[in-house]
Chain A
């Protein structure tokens, strides 16, 4: 009989396992320098197209992770607040999933991740509207990959065509590779054995990835800190990304 304080878990009224999750991430806003290395690494790893200046300026960039910057006050009395890298929060109760008419936005029960099936997507873009984090991006066109970019495709990741939605997968291909390696050696995945591209590239070590269901993992320990918040927690989406920010 385990009676847990669900309020402490930040999941009001939800089941314990649901509140806990499997894979999770911690982003330390106090460490983030806004260098955009995560954005570049993510684009390389996941075959994300570059949309050009004009489309990017019109809100059509395909970044799966973006570094949001905010400020207080009017110029010249501007005070920068900390950067907030934003990506798919891999909600347990993801608002994007039920609204898809063709099951392209689905939940993976085994990984407890929120996934997009590109070749099932018909492009109604309802999921994009319903994501409170605006983490989903749409392939507005077939984008060109000028040389030498066409030589650096990641063979483990689908190249998406025009008309489909896409979003962060927590580098599912890396998770699977690590799982396969661990299974071949007959062991569990070690904490910190692998990281998604963004976490790997972060020079400040502001992004930490790992198992949330292992209380001793680094990500679990960090996410239990009092600095931790979940974005838009009041919507009951049960996000798997914890943001750390001091007073």
Chain B
């Protein structure tokens, strides 16, 4: 109650300023200094964590992968009929995580959602680093990874091309396009911040920022070019984002397998990707806010509130697509599909199916409708974590569990992961490590974007009425 009474003492205007970053401007110099400080302040805990994660990456990712390459896939858990195992689950999962970045920085930018401003970069970094892990997982899965370049259309004396009939070829092109486009799209809004950091650093950092800032001085012409480039990219990357996960879904939907050949897999996978991606963004924001200096100013409960609403809507959309996928397959009455659906729910891994529905649907619906709960960082962190567990399970059900059942009952066999487990932990550790290191080198908050938003917003008084005004900038 104390908080409420204190609240009442504040004027309406003060309360607005407290709640909304856009209405709470700080001088530009001060804000720049805050971001630089957040980047430079490193506690001993950071280094302990970094060394720990580095060790996990070395052993769990590169060590185990080397062993896998040397010994063959026999050390993994894949078998017949589960030819695809956790490697592909990881691939789909990380591509899913990467969707949140584009969703937040491109779609919300195009729709001018103002709450996006302080965390577009934090989300875009997830896209790039998530795609790196997806790439690792795809290559781990290959039987002869040293010949992986055969998948690329490169000139060779035998005039052999990759098979463009194969969904895997489409997949490779889509993921490569997405990785390149999202990296460029990460870099464009970074240029003014790199210039800002260049002007405020010394030594090797200054030299590095100097190169990355591309000589940006902040002239009118440079801003015009930057804005034009960014709006082209923001619009162009949205269809790329949709195509990537649709094509990942086609890897399954184009196959002749019960449970896979479902026409709704394309949009279903895109929504699933956004579901796990938004959960991951909110987790990252909660951690960044709790651990990095000055971040409580930039990332506020209003942001968790806004992402929480999106998560709730996406959870409902996911449930809708899940139901669609299920009912059409079940109603179809195909013998093997029926067998498979029964296996999902009542097989030895049936608990996974129910857990997936609880954490993907029931928990978000029960928690996120409440504004107070969805504005509390630790609550949404837990919800985001659970959603990611649920989405991981969803992919696990679609890949190894569904592969267990095919049209040849003689070959039905359970899948038990082997070396996939250290490799999965390794990719997760690598993602976190990359993110941690990046947070010490790249301003996690796009300062210029926040400042631009704050310039556009103002609190005005008309008589006794306090009114928030927004002016159009571009």
* A78 contacts chain B at the CB level, 8 A cutoff: no
Q: Using a Cβ–Cβ cut-off of 8 Å, how many residues does chain A contribute to the interface with B?
A: 41
Q: Which of B79, B83, B144, B162 contacts A101 (CB 8 A)?
A: B162
Whether A122 lies near B144 (C-beta < 8 A) is: yes
* A164 contacts chain B at the CB level, 8 A cutoff: yes
Bound CA–CA A99/B411 (angstroms):
21
Contacts of B83 in A (CB 8 A): 125-126, 128-129, 138
* A122-B143, A142-B72 as given contacts; A103 in contact with B163, CB under 8 Å: yes
Q: Which of B143, B145, B169, B409 contacts A138 (CB 8 A)?
A: B143
Question: Which of B143, B150, B165, B411 has the most C-beta atoms of chain A within 10 angstroms of its own C-beta?
Answer: B143
CB proximity to B under 8 Å, residues A157-202: 162-165
Whether A86 lies near B163 (C-beta < 8 A) is: no
Q: Which of A22-30, A53-61, A205-213 is near enough to bind chain B?
A: A53-61
Whether A140 lies near B144 (C-beta < 8 A) is: no
* A66 contacts chain B at the CB level, 8 A cutoff: yes
* A98 contacts chain B at the CB level, 8 A cutoff: yes
> Chain B contact residues: over half helix, strand or loop, or mixed?
loop
Nearest Cβ in chain A — how far from B419, in angstroms? Answer: 12
Whether B74 lies near A99 (C-beta < 8 A) is: no
Nearest Cβ in chain B — how far from A1, in angstroms? Answer: 34
Nearest Cβ in chain A — how far from B149, in angstroms? Answer: 9
Contacts of A58 in B (CB 8 A): 79, 413, 416
Contacts of A140 in B (CB 8 A): 72-74, 78-79
Contacts of B256 in A (CB 8 A): 95, 130, 132, 235
* A102-B150, A102-B163 as given contacts; A139 in contact with B72, CB under 8 Å: yes
Contacts of B169 in A (CB 8 A): 101
* B12 contacts chain A at the CB level, 8 A cutoff: no
Whether B72 lies near A141 (C-beta < 8 A) is: yes
- Chain B positions 353 through 394: 1 when the CB is less than 8 Å from some CB of chain A, otherwise 0: 000000000000000000000000000000000000000000
* A44 contacts chain B at the CB level, 8 A cutoff: no
* B148 contacts chain A at the CB level, 8 A cutoff: yes
- Chain B positions 246 through 263: 1 when the CB is less than 8 Å from some CB of chain A, otherwise 0: 000001001111000000
Bound CA–CA A163/B144 (angstroms):
5
Bound CA–CA A165/B81 (angstroms):
13
Nearest Cβ in chain B — how far from A220, in angstroms? Answer: 27
* A38 contacts chain B at the CB level, 8 A cutoff: no
Bound CA–CA A99/B71 (angstroms):
26
Bound CA–CA A121/B146 (angstroms):
11
Which residue on A lies nearest to B252, using beta carbons? A129
- Chain B positions 392 through 435: 1 when the CB is less than 8 Å from some CB of chain A, otherwise 0: 00000000000100111111010010000000000000000000
Nearest Cβ in chain B — how far from A122, in angstroms? Answer: 5
* A137 contacts chain B at the CB level, 8 A cutoff: yes
Whether B80 lies near A134 (C-beta < 8 A) is: yes
Bound CA–CA A128/B406 (angstroms):
11
Whether A121 lies near B143 (C-beta < 8 A) is: yes
Q: Which of B82, B144, B168 contacts A164 (CB 8 A)?
A: B144
Contacts of A134 in B (CB 8 A): 80-81, 406-408, 410-411
Whether B255 lies near A162 (C-beta < 8 A) is: no
* B327 contacts chain A at the CB level, 8 A cutoff: no
Whether A129 lies near B151 (C-beta < 8 A) is: no
Can you list 12 residue pairs at the A/B interface with Cβ under 8 Å?
A59-B411, A69-B410, A102-B163, A103-B162, A120-B150, A123-B145, A124-B168, A125-B84, A129-B83, A132-B406, A139-B72, A141-B71
Interface residues, chain B, CB within 8 Å of chain A?
71-74, 78-84, 141-145, 147-148, 150-151, 160, 162-163, 165-169, 172, 251, 254-257, 403, 406-411, 413, 416
Interface residues, chain A, CB within 8 Å of chain B?
55, 58-60, 66, 68-70, 86, 95, 98-103, 120-126, 128-130, 132-134, 137-142, 162-165, 232, 235
